[in-house]
Amino acid sequence: MADGTSVKPAFDVVAVREQFPILKRQINGRPLVYLDNAASAQKPRAVIDRLVSVMENGYSNVHRGLHTLSNEATEAFEQAREIVARFLNAESAEQIVWTKGGTEAINLVANGIGLDIREGDEIIVTEMEHHSNIVPWHMLRERKGAVLRWAPILDDGSLDMEAFKGLLNARTKMVSVTHMSNVLGTINPVAEITRLAHAAGARVLVDGCQGAVHSIPDVQAIGCDYYVITGHKLFGPTGIGALYGTMEALEALPPYQGGGEMIETVEKERITYARPPHRFEAGTPPILEAIGLGTALEWLSGFDPAAIHAHEQALYDRAAQRLGELDWVRILGTAEGKGSVLAFTVDGAHAHDVAQIMDRYGVAVRAGLHCAEPLAKRLGVTSSTRASFALYNTLEEADAFADALIKARNFFV
């Protein structure tokens, strides 16, 4: 997807939907309208069939096996790593570390740099971060005396870049920022953030769990030290994610866990570690999941990313226009160029109740704090409902969402 050189066919949402068996399901006697994609996306037939095929015909543990099944599994497993590298526009597949998800990837980095953190060293995050990009840094604050600094957001949900610049100083060791907010849909200027942070002598981690889905994640153009993705939001399986790092940044990290595969030699008196990426992949890896993610990204690469973006933007615009006509709805996040995530509150109603009533009409949305409690406090809300769109959603579903919300509102007035 990163090279984008091949000609892609015109985007046909009807044909896309045919590749997702679950979208034919009915919920409470109504067609499923699945708008919980920011939490986890559905899986295309290509991924489902590949997982079944590997389990039926080609499964074995990877690496070091000398028999046919092991060789086949190893080849598919490492090919998936190469696919992720191409997707992120990494220079080498050796810069891709398999993890069980975005959360583990961030923890891997936080634990690694934690050895070099001294009391008073500063880590900058933003007010829009997911808990996965907050808690690991808080743990360093607790253990090592690090100082957590918070880059604020403006009222429209965009990052206050002037305030961010003011936080950078000689004590800043890490800047960890989301590429795209899972609540606001804000897409941050991560290349500019990286440039400023590097000028201050800090490393940069970009949480791409949302951004990699709704934009082109080019790690070389961004220039960050680390970039994190998770498979289940990219139409792949759960239990798989990846950490990209520059080779210099990865080699500076100590191993995260100990066991098989991540070592070079083991003796009674000493051990030596493997080079990245295997240094960080102790034990039997998520073999099926990695192959499934590779298949998902190959499938995704068959579409023009600009066409996907335009389609998703049309869905968001339709839903936002409908909700903008309702004086009892507050939309959270209106930053220019935001992605297709629509979080909102309903006057006089709790988000959980709104979501449960919408489910009666077959509409699946998320409700609560969305693992972003500091952001909720900044916005002055105790919960919100969130609709998040994917390439397989339709304008008719955007209207069905708005219609279901209006019906849900009638329960509270």
pLDDT of residue 230: 98
- Residue 5 pLDDT grade (very low, low, confident, very high; cuts 50, 70, 90): low
Rg (CA), the chain: 22
Of the candidates 110, 125, 113, 78, which has an alpha carbon nearest to the alpha carbon of residue 97?
78
Residues 281 and 192 sit within 8 Å (Cβ to Cβ)? no
Q: Give 6's pLDDT tier (boundaries 50, 70, 90).
A: low
Which DSSP string corresponds to 94-160?
GGEEEESSHHHHHHHHHHHHHTT--TT-EEEEETT--GGGTHHHHHHHHHH--EEEEE-B-TTS-B-
Tens of pLDDT, residue by residue over 10-19, are 899 999 999 9
Q: Return d(Cα 326, Cα 406) in angstroms, integer.
A: 9
For residue 1, what pLDDT band results from cuts at 50, 70 and 90?
very low
pTM (global) more than 0.85: yes
Domain 13-44+304-409 has CATH 3.40.640.10: no
Q: What is the mean pLDDT of residues 82-88?
A: 98
Q: Can you tell me the distance from the alpha carbon of 251 to that of 143, in angstroms, rounded to the nearest whole number?
A: 23
Torsion over CA: 373, 377, 378, 380 (sign): positive
The Cα 363–Cα 404 span in angstroms is: 7
| Percentage of the chain lying above the pLDDT 70 cut | 98
Given this model, what pLDDT does residue 64 score? 82
* Segment 151-178, tens digit of pLDDT: 999 999 999 999 999 999 999 999 999 9
Asked whether the predicted pLDDT for residue 2 surpasses 60, the reply is no
pLDDT digits (tens, 9 = 90+) for 96-142: 999 999 999 999 999 999 989 999 999 999 999 999 999 999 999 99
Buried b (16+ CB within 10 A) or exposed e, 176-195: bbbbbbbbbbbbbbbeebbe
The tokens for 41 are: 């996306």
For the 49-300 domain, the top CATH level (class) is alpha beta
User: By three-state DSSP, how is residue 357 classified?
Assistant: helix
Q: Tokens 């570690």 — which residue? A: 273
| Beta strands in 231-352, from DSSP E residues, in sequence order | 241-245, 263-266, 271-273, 329-332, 341-346
Domain span(s) for CATH 3.40.640.10 in the chain:
49-300
- Chain-wide mean pLDDT for the chain? 96
224 given a catalytic annotation: no
Start-to-end C-alpha separation, the chain: 48
Number of DSSP helices (H) and strands (E) in the chain, helices first: 15, 17
Residues of the chain with CATH 3.90.1150.10: 13-44+304-409
Mean pLDDT of 292-311: 97
Catalytic residue among 48, 163, 371, 406: 371
